[in-house]
Amino acid sequence: MVSASSILFPAIAQLLFSVLILTTNVIAYHHDESTIPSTLDGPFKPVTVPLDKSFRGNAVDLPDTDPRVQRRAAGFQPEQISVSLSSTYDSVWISWITGEFQIGDHIKPLDPKTVASIVRYGKLKYSLTHRATGYSLVYNQLYIFQGLQNYTSGIIHHVRLKGLKPNTLYYYECGDPSIAAMSETYHFRTMPVSNPKSYPSRIAIVGDLGLTYNTTSTVSHMITNNPDLVLLVGDVCYANLYLTNGTGADCYSCSFSNSPIHETYQPRWDYWGRYMQPLLSKVPIMVVEGNHELEEQAQNQTFVAYSSRFAFPSKESESPSTFYYSFNAGGIHFIMLGAYTCYDKSGDQYKWLKRDLAKVDRAVTPWVVATWHAPWYSTYTAHYREAECMRVAMEDLLYNYAVDVVFNGHVHAYERSNRVYNYTLDPCGPVHITVGDGGNREKMSITHADEPGNCPEPSTTPDKIVGGFCAFNFTSGPAAGKFCWDRQPDYSAFRESSFGHGILEVKNETHALWTWHRNQDLYDGHADIIYIVRQPDRCPDEPLKKHMDAGCIGHQATTNHGEDRED
Catalytic amino acids? Answer: 383
The length of the chain in residues reads 567
Distance between CA atoms of residues 491 and 497, nearest Å: 18
Burial of 534 (0-12, 13-18, 19+ CB in 10 A): buried
Query: Do 256 and 58 meet the contact criterion of CB atoms below 8 Å apart?
Result: no
Query: Do 79 and 274 meet the contact criterion of CB atoms below 8 Å apart?
Result: yes
The DSSP secondary-structure symbol of 153 reads -
Sheet containing 492-496: order of strands:
47-48, 492-496, 414-417, 431-435, 405-408, 367-371, 332-336, 325-329
Distance between CA atoms of residues 273 and 436, nearest Å: 20
Pure H helices in 178-329: 213-224, 252-255, 267-280, 304-309
Distance between CA atoms of residues 404 and 431, nearest Å: 7
Pure H helices in 57-192: none
Name the residue among 87, 81, 89 with its Cα closest to residue 157.
81
Distance between CA atoms of residues 533 and 169, nearest Å: 31
Distance between CA atoms of residues 113 and 539, nearest Å: 53
